[in-house]
Structure 1
Amino acid sequence: MNTIIFLQSFSNGFLDNFFIFLTMLGEEYLSIFIMLYLFWCVNKDLGYKLGFSILFSTVTNGAIKDTVKAIRPIGNPLIRSLRENTATGYSFPSGHTQTTTSLWFSLMLVIRKFWFYIFATLLIFLVGISRLYLGVHWPLDVLGGLAFGVISVIVGNYLFALSKKKNNKFILLILILPSLIGLILFPSTDYAKAVGGFTGFFIGYVIESTYINFSINKKPLNTILKLLVGLTSILAIKSGLKIILPATNLSDFFRYLIVCLWITAIAPWIFKKLGL
């Protein structure tokens, strides 16, 4: 608690907005956009590797949260909490820190440049600090998010590389099947969404790599068109299904499954048919 109180002793309007901006960088939107851009427009295998690592990390985060059930600092009279709408579920480990760590640690393993190591490490650190400054996590939550983010990437990358080496996509079921079993044990909406996305991503991966095999055209116009068509469709599917389906964990599982299936199989099939 002392760390949070110390950080908040410097509170002012500028720092509030600065750390709110930083914490937004730890939300799912940036990770999804970078993964989509790499998968659709740069390097398909790198996009798959990044997607599996981040989604596995998200599933892991939800499972640990529902197991530990740590209470957040929100509501503590000595702590001021901001942007509470980003603080869903339990406290340990920090989802924002874990997602940020998974994303940038994955990219650090690809972009082996000293300047990028410094940039990525600083960004991970600042997002973690933002969760403390905003009063929505404890220091141990941030450290846990950092550790589990790194572990998730190592495990995810290893199994994806093994599946490629053995030419056996179903090795990745080592990650998928326990996640599906966890739906019985972990009741949170966030966990259902994560497992739905993870499952849809895997199914799409199997379909695309077996039957579609789209190749990336890196022409700037094609890149812009793919991002416009792909992102607009994702928003429409996600919002449309939310309106149609009842508000249940099963609906959220199905909604995120369809979105990630779109990302990995349906959109690539459309891009291929359109010559993109």
Structure 2
Amino acid sequence: MDTMIEILKYIQSFSNPFLDSFFELVTMLGENIFFIAVIAVFYWCFNKTFGYKLAFVYLTSGAFNTIIKEIVKFPRPIGYEGIRSSRIKTAGGYSFPSGHTQQASSLFITLMMEFRKKWLYIIGVLGMLFVGLSRMYLGVHWPTDVIGGLMIGILWTITVVKIFDWSKDREDPALLGVLVIPMMICLLLIKTATYYKAVGALTAMWAGYLIEDKYIHYVTKAVWWKQLIKLVVGLLGIILIRVYIKMLLPLSIYSDFFRYALMGLWMTLLSPIVYRICKIEERETLKNVEN
């Protein structure tokens, strides 16, 4: 423990206003808002299948991270003498492994596996390392948390991508139940808001995936201004559900599950229906798909 404290003190010895702002910004690459935006852009506008894949990696990784934290129950460095902790609002729950580092690893590894570009490898590696460093610089995670988050994020992502590709090759999204169902069962054991949010969104995404794949057949391609409308309408819907539905529900983990499930359904199923009704979907492309 003394060694880890000294490492954090050494990292923070370089503190200055520029680095404070820089690492506050970098750490956001491991937060929900950033992931939702990235998944939304891919799912609504460019590549529906990859959007699904990215969502499943992100949500299962987040749920698995919470399970490990609840088992290990390792305290954070917050409050230790000589360690300055900031952006504490992003540091909920236990310390090991670092959720931000794990989620950033999940995002960048998925992108690297999908697109296999040298420039993306460089950005991905730097992104993962800098997010991990930001958590130590901000004094909310130990070095072991960051290393654990990095390793678990990489291994978990590779596993989930393989499972997703397997279900896609068999043209049966129901096979993703091997990931979703065990995590639904763990709702009986893991009674935290973070876990209920992740599994709520995951369950709804899976249900939306099954229904959309069979009945909706949403088409992502459209002219640029229609893409922009889709993003504005879609993200506005997510914000309304996340912020305003919360005001209507009692504070509980079950309300969190419902709210995030509604967000998952909106993203995968309800918003595509809205786009089709409002004729935002590209008609010529849709006709070609149907024919």
TM-score by length of 2: 0.93
Which of 18, 38, 41 is matched with 1:14 structurally? Answer: 18
Name 1:68's counterpart in structure 2: 72
What's the CA shift for 1:152? 2.1
Distance 1:264 1:153 in 2: 21
Residue 121 (structure 2) pairs with residue 117 (structure 1) = yes
Which of 263, 280, 284 is matched with 1:259 structurally? Answer: 263
Write out the 4+ residue segments of structure 1 that deviate beyond 4 Å after TM superposition: none
Q: Secondary structure at the match of 1:79?
A: coil
Deviates more, 1:209-218 or 1:244-253: 209-218
Distance 1:23 1:215 in 2: 33
Letter in 2 for 1:202: W
Q: Secondary structure at the match of 1:74?
A: coil
TM-score by length of 1: 0.98
What's the CA shift for 1:149? 1.1
Mapping of 1:132-147 within 5 angstroms? 132-147=136-151
Distance 1:209 1:58 in 2: 25
Letter in 1 for 2:185: I
Q: Secondary structure at the match of 1:216?
A: coil
Cα offsets for 1:149-183 (capped at 9, x unmatched): 11221121111111122222221111111111111
Name 1:212's counterpart in structure 2: 216
Name 2:284's counterpart in structure 1: none
Q: Secondary structure at the match of 2:94?
A: coil
> RMSD over aligned Cα, in angstroms?
1.0
Q: Secondary structure at the match of 1:89?
A: coil
What's the CA shift for 1:240? 2.0
Residue 169 (structure 2) pairs with residue 165 (structure 1) = yes
Distance 1:257 1:76 in 2: 37
Distance 2:194 2:254 in 1: 11
Which of 221, 224, 231 is matched with 2:228 structurally? Answer: 224
Distance 1:52 1:221 in 2: 28
Q: Determine if contact 1:196/1:253 at 8 Å carries over to the other structure.
A: yes
Report how many residues are paired.
276
Residue 69 (structure 2) pairs with residue 87 (structure 1) = no
* Uncovered stretches (5+) of structure 2, i.e. residues with no partner: 281-291
